[in-house]
Structure 1
Amino acid sequence: MSSEDVEADFGPFVDGVERADAGDLTDETIVRRRVDRPQGGWRGAVFSASRGLLNPGVGPEEHAQRDQVRRIRRPLGSAHQIGITSINGGVGKTTVAACVGLVLAEHRGDRVVALDAGQNAGTLADRLTGDTSRTVRDMLGEIGSLNSLADVSRFTSLAGRLQVLASEQDPAMTEGITREEYESVCEVLRRFYNVVITDSGSGLVHAAVEGTLALAHSLVIVGSPTADGAGRVSKTLDWLLQRGPAERVADAVLVLTCDRASKHVDTERVRRHFEARCRAVVEVPFDPHLATGAQIDMNRIRPATHDAFRAIAAHLADRFDATPVGVGAEMVGVDPS
């Protein structure tokens, strides 16, 4: 007797029991959904103390954090270069490059590398790994023979999941790398890494900085919310407008590091001014751990500081293109060796 005959004779019930079919066995009907439990704050404390009996739900701040992580994990179809620059030193540019790199590497499952292109013995590797035994200058010496990720990794050090390529450390090499050398290094890095972050060094007219601005898909400008700092950031934006499309400046992410913030400066007015000129403005609060200048441990920075760097990373990931580019060994993340 067919199922149609059964239904015709008995309807949807057989011996008083509701008849079931294969359509009832779906993940929606048989998988128990995990309770959306809060992870932190008073909500997480209540959930843990009650052993899950009391669930106040996820709060708005945690929802926002989860949304940022979701954005950070946006798929990438081809390598994405991020240039981090400032018109002057001492505003926390290297700290921003280091922490943004750590956040991206922490939440993404692909390869992220941070390159120090500073011209005067940059400190990116010092802040991340403390290892400057191999530098970008060493890598340039063997650039023609780098055919695998293993080859490239000989010149990098590791901070968590973030690969770090140190700048030239010899004080006598005051000129740093040229634009052509920088572009050659980036060409290799793009073959084996999904995200390439460049700490470009201070100023805007150095050769490597020109290369950073030319190759970057996303641009981060770092400044401070002080009278002189805001003026320098504004000059930076004007300089970029004179040398490139207005869309490039409008799409930049501006980071205001508040180490030197003063109650006598109207920070909110500074922020509104730059929000009209850039895609996003993020303030990084003063953090005692970062202020030491020592090697960075993300577990030791304040939650508000971590939130700021997560916000920067999310804004940058919003521009990640998931469209695949290239085939075979040219695909990002594919090691041809």
Structure 2
Amino acid sequence: MSADYDRLFHSPDALRTVDEDQDRETPPAGRDSVAPPGAMVRPDAAPGMPVHPPGTQGATAPPPRQTEVTTQIPTTPGTMSPPLPDNGLMRMPQTHSPSGARHEASRSAPAPTPRPASPPLPSQHFADAGVDRRPAPQQAPTSAAAMGNHRAIDALSHVGVRSAVKLPPQRGWRHWLYLLTRINLGLSPDEMYEMDLHARIRRNARDSYQIGVFGLKGGVGKTAVTVALGSALSSIRGDRILAIDADPDGGNLADRAGRQSAATIADLLSDKELHRYNDIRAYTSMNSANLEVLSSEEYSAARREFNDEDWRAATEIVSRYYNLVLADCGAGLFQPGARGVLSTVSGLVIVASASIDGARQAAITMDWLRQNGYQDLLGRSCVVVNHVVPGKPNIDVDDLVQQFERHVAPGRVIVLPYDKHIAAGTEIQLDLLGKTFERRIVELAAALSDDFDRLERR
């Protein structure tokens, strides 16, 4: 006891006051803390606390220093404060205990010193000074999957752009007003509608798009519709369009379009040296609208009728050089040539006269297509009600149009008026057609062109 008493009251550490101990900085606990010599460290002991070896268990531990508690001092914005330490923290004593050796001996063992706090972020110094310098929140980068595979430049094609200059009108009173006063009122509604029809006709047709023209009754104007339709498509589109006479009963397609060559489809199929467009052009005739026509054999000189093999062989050759191929078919659907055309065409035109007999034949054609596996082709078909004789017909044409629109899409039933140029039976020229007849043919071409970009084909 005397040894412990002397060390307690006569050691140099006991003579130090509490105020002197407060000025000393408590060493941080952790790996850098070193136990005094001769001390044993237990695995379960707190960091920085030495354990005396056996034999000195009864010795009194040196008086512990007062525990220092560190805290962060807030600073009022706008006030001057002394520079902060590097860690942004200042130490303040928690309590003021009485000084003296007697009170030092009665204190309990010190609690484990907490680990030093990690250095504050740079934004913490600005927060202490009352300044909000927090970085703006960053948005997560949008992945390509979230944006989709659509390009931004493709979306601009749907944005309407208003032109600063109006197109001058080409017909009507607006045209005369522009010629006399130079006042440009722009295109008329009819001219704008015509421009929309032409834009639809100029759609890109993948591969070689084939269109068949059918009619169960003769004399309804199938050949005239084929020539007028092909001429309108060729003059508006400006690409290569071919019309083939697929009537096994001796059609007159070349005569109505303007015959220039005596060659026929049989001559084309017998030629084995067809490698260029000019090789095929030698067997076709071309009218003023740049529509080309491939005629069939004359009925008196033909040794057999036009069949499905002839059609497939001819289209296999010409499809490499022509964008659109039209077929002027006969009056029957059970003929081999008609079956061959139906197996390859992607569009169909059903021609009927403006009479009750012609309307029945058109209805039979639509029923036959539906019952024989051509339902999809019927959905891409157009019905033409043709006035082949002058005067008022013996049937309500408006009611007939409504009945046909129950089987085809609206806008695909076209009514052609009587035209003197067509009724003459001579070569058909697009410039000599009546304005109403020509407009209806353009509407027919636009309706068929709406299917050019459809996925289902044939």
Please indicate the TM-score interval, normalised by the length of the shorter structure. 0.7 to 0.9
Report the Cα distance in structure 1 between the residues aligned to 2:330 and 2:219, rounded to whole angstroms.
11
For 1:264, the equivalent position in structure 2 comes to 394
Shift of the 36–266 alpha-carbon distance from structure 1 to 2, 3 Å rule, reads same
Partner residue, 1:293: 425
User: Contact (CA 8 Å) 2:261, 2:283: kept in 1 or not?
Assistant: no
Q: 8 Å contact 1:259–1:286 — kept in the other structure? A: yes
Structure 1 CA distance, aligned partners of 2:394 and 2:222?
A: 24
Tell me which residue corresponds to 2:438.
306
- Which structure exhibits the higher relative contact order, with contacts defined as CA atoms closer than 8 Å and separated by 6 or more residues? 1
Partners of 1:216 and 1:61 in 2: how far apart? 32
Q: 2:284·2:294 contact (CA, 8 Å) conserved in 1?
A: yes
1:159 to 287, 292, 296: 287
| 2:46 corresponds to 1:46 | no
Is the Cα–Cα contact under 8 Å of residues 380 and 448 in structure 2 kept in the other structure? no
Q: Which residue of structure 2 aligns with residue 24 of structure 1?
A: none
Tell me the equivalent position of 1:275.
405
CA distance in 2, matches of 1:71, 1:180: 33
| TM-score, with length taken from structure 1 | 0.82
Q: What is the letter of the counterpart of residue 37 of structure 1?
A: P
> 1:164 offset after TM fit, Å?
1.0
Give the match for residue 28 of structure 1: none
Task: Give distance in 2, aligned partners of 1:239 and 1:48.
Answer: 55
Aligned partner of 1:247: which letter? D
Which has the higher Rg, Structure 1 or Structure 2?
2
2:300 is paired with a residue whose SS is: coil
C-alpha distance in structure 2 between counterparts of 1:49 and 1:174, whole Å: 65
Q: When the two structures are superposed, what TM-score results if normalisation uses the length of structure 2?
A: 0.61
1:67 to 196, 200, 204: 196
CA 1:291–1:174 in structure 2 vs 1: closer, same or farther (change >3 Å)? farther
Label 1:198 to 1:276 Cα distance change in 2 as closer, same or farther (>3 A).
same
Q: Provide the rounded CA distance (Å) in 1 between the counterparts of 2:222 and 2:368.
A: 18
- Shift of residue 248 of structure 1? 1.9
Q: Which residue identity is paired with 1:162?
A: L
Shift of 1:111: 1.1
Consecutive aligned runs of 4 or more in structure 1 exceeding 4 Å deviation: none
**What amino acid is aligned across from residue 286 of structure 2 in structure 1?**
L
Inter-partner Cα distance in structure 2 for 1:85 and 1:268: 22
Partner of 1:102: 231
Q: Kindly indicate whether residue 277 of structure 2 is the aligned counterpart of residue 149 of structure 1.
A: yes
Per the TM alignment, residue 62 of structure 1 is displaced from its structure 2 partner at its CA by: 1.2
Contact 1:76 1:321 in 2 (8 A): yes
Q: Distance in 1 between matches of 2:294 and 2:354?
A: 30
State how many pairs are aligned.
289
Query: Is 1:78–1:321's contact at 8 Å kept on the other side of the alignment?
Result: no
Q: Which amino acid aligns with 2:345?
A: A
- 2:343 aligns to what SS in structure 1? helix
- By how many angstroms is 1:102 displaced? 0.3
| Aligned ranges 1:63-142 → 2 under 5 Å | 63-142=192-271
SS of 2:326's equivalent? strand
> More helix per residue: 1 or 2?
1
CA distance in structure 2 between the aligned counterparts of 1:93 and 1:139, rounded to whole angstroms: 24
1:179 counterpart residue number: 308
1:201-238 CA distances to partner (integer Å, 9 max, x unpaired)?
A: 22212211111111101011111121111011101111
Identity percentage over the alignment? 33
Question: How far apart in 2 are the matches of 1:248 and 1:174?
Answer: 32
State the alpha-carbon separation in 2 of the partners of residues 299 and 44 from structure 1: 21
Pick from 222, 226, 245: which aligns with 2:351? 222
d(CA) in 1 for partners of 2:303 and 2:357? 27
Q: Using the alignment, how far apart are the partners of 1:308 and 1:234 within structure 2?
A: 21
The alignment status of 1:250 with 2:379, answered yes or no, reads: yes
Instruction: Give the aligned partner of residue 328 of structure 1.
Output: none
Number of the residue aligned with 2:78: none
Asked whether the equivalents of residues 119 and 174 of structure 1 are also in contact (C-alpha less than 8 Å), the reply is no
**Contact 2:220–2:351 (CA under 8 A) maintained in structure 1:** yes
Mapped to 2, the partners of 1:264 and 1:77 lie a distance apart of: 42
